[in-house]
Each structure stands twice: as structure tokens, then as C-alpha cells.
Amino acid sequence: MANSKQEVESLESLLESNLPNEELKQAWRLLYGSEYPPSELTIPKTATELASVSKIQLKTYQFTAAQEQLRPPRKVRIGLFQNQLPLATDAPVAEQRAALHKLAEKAIEAAAQCGVNVFCFQETWTMPFAFATRERLPWTECAESAEEGPTTVLLRNLAKRHNMVIINPILERDAGDVLWNCAVVISNSGQIIGKSRKNHIPRVGDFNESTYYMESTLGHPVFETQFGKIGINICYGRHHPLNWAMFGLNGAEIVFNPSATVGALSEPLWSIEARNAAIANHYFACAINRVGTEIFPNEFTSGDGKPAHKDFGHFYGSSYVAAPDGSRSPGLSRVTDGLLVAELDLNLCRQVKDKWGFRMTMRLPMYAELYTKASKPDYKPQVVSENERPRED
């Protein structure tokens, strides 16, 4: 079972516990781009009770847009779910998956009671994040078919029952026994719309995942659902601005970033990257991170001279939603399971696009020419030195 001892609950808890009310309001405005207290949703008491019994922190947030004359509001509710492992990493694979499925059913039920239209899990949510161990068994046994595996079958039924689009990030085993880091998009009809795969594979610290799966060949698909156009930028892809940009160019209104990352490596980046993406690409960006410390049976190293160890470090949760106007929701806990329910008005995407004009001023042909040159081995950077400046007579 994940261990989260002696970790700070959240940035929000530190602010609220230590700042006087007036200073808190100003700090909140500067940090989150919105007023304090945050704008929350009214949800049924039954949802709150179910989350409490299931030991799931339930938070809500509301993003608004200006009223338009010709377009009605396009309000959509999304649910981001972060979780620890219910069982120890050395529990049998079938038992781990069953425990996670049981937890997922509770989270989705709570989300449904809150009116969630689109629900997304964290990266490879049906297994421990075992990719640093470099061990094949038992971890490759966690891989399953994106179309016919037990997790997709379960979620197809839940999606149809709750009229909810569900994004299912799993370790995929395809028909040729090739593994992929994948996210299956299941329609609210219960049918599979398609899948996205991880475009960028990390080679940093313990995250040497390239020994398990390859980079995607599927590009940057955007899935048209009843509740808006969505993209999935899996984990490490959030460090690549062009990866985010391509989902925007393909028309995404909401981009989910299911992740698994630890505090010692990436926490200073976490609150910035999805927010930057939302601003630059005029869409909502949803950052989801797993939570807890996963301890493995055998020690492993990263070839960095540090002692062998049995865990990656603390997965710090802190899932949040960022809007195209630069505002963002508070984050979920750094130490507990959590469900963030956010209501978005998708009209805000075009309103911000019209205000800032980034799409109109982005100069795609110029960048395309430069990147084409930069992709070649003989590329010479455009650097001008003092000795090369024209002489002034």
C-alpha cells in the first residue's frame, strides 16, 4: 500500500492555515488568477457521503465565461481522479487490478452523482508504476488489450450506465504483443471512440520507461464527443510545448494530462506546465497525477551513482484544471485519493482566442520552415556574433 507519511497536505492548506484573510485573498488572486474563496459547485449530499466513506477527497470548482448573444453557454463537467494503490506492490496482479476496479467504480459513481460528463484517470492507473524496476514479470502481466481488456469492458459498461465519457489510461498489449502507454476514449454510449498513445518517453532519473514501450505512432488525435473535443497528452508529453500545441491545432477544447510524477523530480514544474499550455493554446488543460509512495519488493538503481532503492519517491497528486484565460482551480491533496469535479464553459476557449489572437499571430509557416531545417543533421543555428555585424561607416 502507498505510504504518504510526513508529506505536506497541499499548497492551499498552507496558505489557508498561515495567511490572514485579506492577505490570503491577494495571494490567491496572484497564484490562481481568481478570487478567494474559490467558486465551488453545489453537489448532492449523497456524493459527498460516498466520497467520504470511500476515503476520496471531493473538491469542486466552477469556471465561467461571458454571456454571448448568439451562442448559449456550453457547460461541461469533468472529473479528474487521482489515487494511491489500494494494495501493496507485491500483491498478485489479479488482486491489484480487482481492488483498483472496485475503487474506480466508487469514484465514477461519486462523479456521476456530481453530474460529471467526462472522467479521466491517472496514467497507467490499473497497476503500480513499476517501470523503473526494469523487471518484466509480473509487471508486463498488467498490460491488456485497449479494445477488449477487462478494464475497458468494465468502463464501457459504466460509461453507458452513467452517460459519461471515460478516459482509460492503461498499459496496452496489442495483437502483436507490443506494449504501449495508451489512453482509451470511451463514449457515453459505451462504444470506443479511439485511443491515444504516449508521444514522448522519459529518460530521466528513475523514469527509464523506454525498455517497456515505444513512442506513439498515432500522432495527436482529438476525439469529438457529445461534451466537446478532447485530447490526451500522456505524462511526459507535458514537458514538450509543441506536443500540447498540436492538440490545439487539431481543435481540442479540453486536453487531459494523465501523469505519474514525483516531487523530487518535477514538483516545481507541475503547477506551471498545464497552465502554460491552456494559455498558449486556448483550451482547458487538466493535469492528473497519482499519489502516494509505491514500495517495490526489489531494489533498483538509475545508473546515477545514488544508492539502490525500492521506490521512486512520493507521487504528489495535486491534480488541477487550468483555463485558457490563465486562471486555475485549486489542486487536490498531495497525500490522499481525490476527485476534482470542475464545470467548464467551453465558450471561454473562443472568447480568449478572440481577445489575445494567439492563433492569428502564431506565424506557422515561419516555424514550419525553421523546424524543417532544425530536424536535419547539418542544421546550423542562426546565431549572430559581434564580428559578423555590418560595418557602420
For the chain, the straight-line distance linking the first and the last C-alpha, in angstroms and rounded, comes to 75
Q: Residue 393: its pLDDT value, please?
A: 58
Q: Which of 33-51 are b and which e, b meaning 16 or more Cβ less than 10 Å from the residue's Cβ?
A: ebebebeeeebeeebeebb
* Site of grid cell 483498483: 100
Q: Residue 5: its pLDDT value, please?
A: 57
Question: Torsion angle, CA of 291/293/297/301, rounded to 10 degrees?
Answer: 110
Closest CA to 347 of 328, 369, 368, 323: 323
Assigned C-alpha cell, 296: 517495490
Q: Residue 390: its pLDDT value, please?
A: 64
Neighbours of 17 (CB within 10 A): 9
Query: Which residue type is seen at 103?
Result: L
The angle, 0 to 180 degrees and rounded to 10, between the axes of the packed helices 11-18 and 21-32 is 150
* Site of grid cell 504516449: 198
Closest CA to 11 of 239, 342, 343, 270: 270
Q: What is the largest CA-CA distance in the chain?
A: 81
Backbone CA torsion sign across 196, 168, 336, 213: negative
- For this structure, is 109 an active site residue? no
pTM of the model: 0.96
Could you say which of 114, 120, 142, 235 is catalytic?
A: 235
Q: Residue 272: its pLDDT value, please?
A: 97
Q: Residue 4: its pLDDT value, please?
A: 47
CA distance linking residue 12 with residue 164, whole number of Å: 30
- For this structure, is 25 an active site residue? no
Q: Residue 308: its pLDDT value, please?
A: 94
Could you say which of 12, 123, 253, 294 is catalytic?
A: 123
Q: Residue 392: its pLDDT value, please?
A: 64
Rounded mean pLDDT for each run of 10 residues along the chain, 393 residues in total: 71 96 97 96 97 98 98 98 98 98 98 98 98 93 98 98 98 97 98 98 88 95 98 98 98 98 95 98 98 96 86 96 98 98 98 95 95 97 83 62
Do residues 15 and 27 make contact, with C-beta atoms less than 8 angstroms apart? yes
Domains and CATH numbers, the chain: 38-298+306-374 (3.60.110.10)
Q: Residue 387: its pLDDT value, please?
A: 81
Could you say which of 7, 198, 209, 286 is catalytic?
A: 198
- For this structure, is 198 an active site residue? yes
Q: Residue 31: its pLDDT value, please?
A: 96
